Amino acid sequence: MSYIFPPQGLSIIPIHSSQAVFPVHRIYCVGKNYAAHAREMGSDPTREPPFFFQKPTDAIQYVQAGTVADHPYPSLTKNYHYEAELVAMLDKGGRNIPVAKALDLVYGYSLGLDMTRRDLQNDMKKQSRPWCIAKGFDHSAPIGPITRAKDVQAIEQASISLQVNGQDRQRSNVSQLIWNIAETIEHLSAAWELQPGDLIFTGTPEGVAAVVSGDTLVGAVAGLGEIKVHVS
């Protein structure tokens, strides 16, 4: 067997304090999983079943700890939004995982940014079309190094924040998730057979807004450190 062109490289994420790396299988994202964010987006934050969308694995932009990554402003948009999110990384999979066993699948956590071409997303919503063009473009998933779950204390009560040019834009707590990490895994595993290497962007708190070229974003989750990107 021969390839007609060289295969694309596997998306990987380094692991904090380790020489090992995490190979990415799929990227799942949870929509409107903080009540205050649901309200600011014009939705009722009732505890309806969660909904999901995906990003391609090569949307990942790895942001090394202690550095500022250059993040290109994407084409086709004039309303480019950040969404800071806790990301859970799975090293085990399965179907129909109950809440009581769901966290056994989690290898570690990181902070990610679900970058969004909001004007395109709004246009797609009006036309009842998929959001792929708004969520799944190149570099749309900046993410920091993984911290192993065993090395994180009380992740479900961790603070989460994002600053733009030194000013607070998002500040909340993971405890405010409508569907917590274990419940999200339970719902996901009913729809897909989860696999080792899956990433789950768990949702963003209130305070999403537009950024422009020249802005610097600093996101943080307590216990996981920061990621910094400069929009070019």
Q: pLDDT tens across 158-204, in order?
A: 999 999 999 999 999 999 999 999 999 999 999 999 999 999 999 99
Residue 104 pLDDT exceeds 80: yes
Say whether pLDDT at 136 is over 80.
Answer: yes
pLDDT at residue 231, as a whole number: 98
Q: Write the DSSP symbol of residue 151.
A: G
- pLDDT for 42: 67
Average pLDDT over residues 63-84: 98
**Which residue in this structure is represented by tokens 């696999």?**
195
The answer to pTM > 0.75 is yes
Look up residue 146 and give its amino acid: I
Q: CA–CA separation, 54 vs 132, rounded Å?
A: 8
pLDDT value of residue 8: 87
Domain 12-231 CATH class label:
alpha beta
Nearest alpha carbon to residue 85 among 44, 151, 34: 34
**Mean pLDDT, all residues of the chain:** 95
Q: Could you give the CA distance from residue 200 to residue 192 in angstroms, rounded to a whole number?
A: 13
CA separation (Å) from 46 to 7, 43, 51, 178?
44, 9, 13, 8
Q: How confident is the model at residue 74 (pLDDT cuts 50, 70, 90)?
A: very high
pLDDT above 90 (res 130): yes
In order of 16, 44, 69, the CA distances from 60 in angstroms are 17, 30, 12
- Beta strand 27-30 pairing with 210-211: unpaired
Local confidence band at 49 (pLDDT 50, 70, 90 cut-offs): confident
Write down the number of H helices and E strands in the chain: 5, 18
- As a whole-number percent, the residues of the chain with pLDDT over 70 amount to 97
Reported as a pLDDT band with limits 50, 70 and 90, residue 61 is: very high
Q: CA–CA distance from 125 to each of 84, 93, 121, 211 (Å)?
A: 22, 32, 6, 21
| DSSP class of 66 | T
Distance separating alpha carbons of residues 122 and 118, to the nearest angstrom:
6
pLDDT category of residue 32 using cuts at 50, 70 and 90: confident
